[in-house]
Chains A and B, each alone.
Chain A
């Protein structure tokens, strides 16, 4: 029981970090970013490259990896997505193309074998009587702190107010003097950066290989559909629901059944409540 509680929390936190960035860039810039999983994979590979190939210490590697992917996301939005923004379909296609290109680039550069990233924390820790690797606990703590920080940033700062304003009425936001394009870049950096951080944090205990971004992408998608596309509280609640459901299924049935949970969640949500738990309107 307690094991489910602790392990479920770790998975939920990682899912939350992934899906909040995904839902944020949609809510603000209406970009349904199918390359979001690539940011996660790029984060993990950047961490692998910087630690194992370049031989840098862990912390600077992690920071550089996140910054690199944030920059990659900003460049993608600026040069590939922005010219196509008028068409939702074109945006969907170009981000899908980026995700395929990233996967192939990783395959060509690093090969298809699994790569290892050293743990930030090697020791095992006991929490409420449950043994857990220090790395998983670190992933949980960092995710929660980042999400809290993001929430404070959005609620308390001027830039955060601009983000909220654009997500509620982009045209009115422009009349306030908010430079919407610049805000899109900022949000893209946050979105790509948090996805990369998730990739960096899980790299030591998950397999790092070129297609590792696909499954998290599906999960993030399921979560924002359940939570309501564009809603941050919705994606956090849905992350907890999905993270715990998967953990429970893994314990009670088998871990090979967990991938089904997100797909069932999508189908059930779309039938019962197409707008999602916190959504203002149906996303599709």
Chain B
């Protein structure tokens, strides 16, 4: 069985600086995989390399097909949707228009409407906020729009870049709950996070990235008992 996503020996350079090197990972269909690591470890770069927003060397296979030379919009078309760091909403457009743009490549109107309904069920507050400008929402609500917008592309794999950063605890719990629901709906998730405790609570497997390299990998259960992880990331 081929994994949904297979990243092999990925390397990204910004000018002469090495951002990530020798990074290999896999995501199976229906899995939630976490990437933990401190600031500057290369987590965001890794996600950008997977969605082809930055040039990278190495292997990138999705559903068994080589996607390492595709432009970003074709990667999206294949079923990888990227919810970027800092949410990156279209600030002057309404919440509804932001969500609709997530379905830009799709023509199946009925299915798009069904997905809009699904996003509204996942984040009910977005239904009320539909006609508001995105920039007027709170940070947590904006994060919901960003995740919802990525889901509107009906991805097989959702890339989430620090969804919980800068968000109040209650909303954070809600967003982690939503990630579990997204998986139950059949979408695999690759989530980059700094909050190790919450992340280990929902993921199946974790990769730990430091200085651009994978330093630990394993199931959530195994890493919770790893001394290094306990000391550095869980603080116990």
- Contacts A162-B104, A171-B88 given; indicate if A176 touches B149 (C-beta within 8 A): yes
Q: Which of B81, B93, B150, B153 contacts A168 (CB 8 A)?
A: B93
> Chain B residues with Cβ under 8 A from A169's Cβ?
88-91
In the complex, which of the residues A158, A165, A175 contacts B76, with contact meaning CB atoms closer than 8 Å? A175
Chain B residues positioned under 8 Å from A164 (CB to CB): 90, 92-93, 97
With a 10 A CB-CB cut-off, give which of B71, B83, B101 has the most chain A CB atoms. B101
B167 located at the interface, meaning its Cβ lies under 8 Å from any Cβ of chain A in the complex: no
A60 within 8 A of B: no
Query: Which residues in B have their C-beta under 8 angstroms from that of A168?
Result: 90-93
* A161, CB-defined interface residue at 8 Å: yes
Interface residue count on the A side (C-beta < 8 Å)? 17
Q: Chain A contacts of B77 at CB under 8 A?
A: 177
Which chain B residues in 78-119 approach chain A with CB under 8 Å?
Answer: 81-84, 88-93, 97, 100-102, 104-105
Whether A178 contacts B104 in the complex (CB less than 8 A), given A171-B53, A171-B84, A172-B84, comes out as yes
Contact sample, A vs B, 8 pairs, CB 8 Å cutoff: A162-B104, A164-B97, A169-B91, A171-B84, A173-B90, A176-B101, A177-B105, A179-B71
Interface residues of A (CB under 8 A from B): 158, 161-162, 164-165, 168-169, 171-180
Known pairs A168-B91, A169-B89, A177-B105 / 16 extra A-B pairs, C-beta < 8 Å: A161-B100, A162-B104, A164-B92, A165-B90, A172-B84, A172-B90, A173-B90, A173-B101, A174-B73, A175-B72, A175-B83, A175-B84, A175-B88, A176-B101, A178-B101, A179-B71
Interface residues of B (CB under 8 A from A): 51, 53, 71-73, 76-77, 81-84, 88-93, 97, 100-102, 104-105, 149-150, 153
